[in-house]
Chains A and B, each alone.
Chain A
Amino acid sequence: MLLLILQTPTPTPMPPDPNFHLLALVMGWTVTILIAAFALGIIYKMIKGDINLQYLIAGADGDASLSRFQFLIFTFVIAMGLFLIILSVNPPAFPTTIPGGILALLGISGGSYVTSKAVGANATKPAATETTVVFPPAAATTGTTVIVPPSGP
């Protein structure tokens, strides 16, 4: 039995099909050109002003937010770093590991952004003394609208 297994010829690797290489090349060029066209279109629209970046780092109140600005900077730095790392090897390859410190950095930045947003949302909520209660609801009224002012001291 063992002899039979040993005598079985090992399958020889098939020679690469030249058509497959051509297909890979065509697909590669198509995807590369498509990505370039989309990206150029987006950048052109940004420059022209069709894509409005006015509130890119602004919070809900319209003023600039430091958390968003920091998130933007870290995103650019990490993206640029990743690009440089991928290009530093030949052929270009994605890094095998991303250190936990980098993920923690983005996590802290993102967490701070979310917390800041929560604090800001709480701040824009009107105080209890500013609340005006309208009863019954305006949509449901057919006659007189009764407005109940907040009960003050």
Chain B
Amino acid sequence: MATLIMFARYEIGFLMAALIAVVAFQILTGRIHTRGLLSEKTRSGLGGVSPARVQLLLFTLAFAFYLLSEILHSHQFPTIDTKWLLILGGSHSIYLGGKGLSLFRSQLKSNEEGD
């Protein structure tokens, strides 16, 4: 039974690492589309770099590293402080608000052009 447990342990570890590696490699080589990840989206296409998207991306990466380091350190899921969740919620609100606003603006603009 000990051999089976060890085999399953290595198997799941290897498969998860392989899956993450494949996705990361394809993102880095451009096989997975990342065009427009940080660009503002309007009705006429992609706009410039959106600060709301940049802050959300940075916050996401920082939070992911924090979470992973806590798990590696304590070997259990950390109790996430409410302020972290509030920051995450706020960050998302800024992103979604910005997205909605830019779409609303471009819709107004296209309506004016139609008139």
Contact present for B33 and A115 (CB under 8 Å): no
- Against B, the Cβ 8 Å flags (1 = close, 0 = not) of A96-108 are 0011011011001
Interface residues of A, count at CB 8 A: 63
Which of A35, A69, A87, A122 lies in contact with B11, CB distance below 8 A?
Answer: A35
Contact present for A63 and B16 (CB under 8 Å): no
Main secondary structure of the interface of A (DSSP, over half): helix
Which of A66, A104, A122 lies in contact with B80, CB distance below 8 A?
Answer: A104
Contact present for B5 and A84 (CB under 8 Å): no
Contact present for A70 and B56 (CB under 8 Å): yes
The answer to whether A129 and B88 touch (CB under 8 A), given A64-B35, A80-B68, is: no
In angstroms, Cα B60 to Cα A79, docked, is: 16
Q: Is B46 an interface residue when CB atoms closer than 8 A count as contact?
A: yes
In angstroms, Cα B27 to Cα A54, docked, is: 9
Q: Is A147 an interface residue when CB atoms closer than 8 A count as contact?
A: no
**Which A residues from 83 to 140 make CB contacts under 8 A with B?**
83-85, 87-88, 91-92, 95, 98-99, 101-102, 104-105, 108, 111-112, 115-116, 119-120, 122-123, 127, 129-130
- Against A, the Cβ 8 Å flags (1 = close, 0 = not) of B66-101 are 011001100111111100110011001001100110
In angstroms, Cα B16 to Cα A36, docked, is: 11
- Provide a sorted-by-A list of 6 A–B residue pairs whose CB atoms are within 8 angstroms: A46-B22, A63-B36, A63-B41, A64-B34, A105-B80, A129-B114
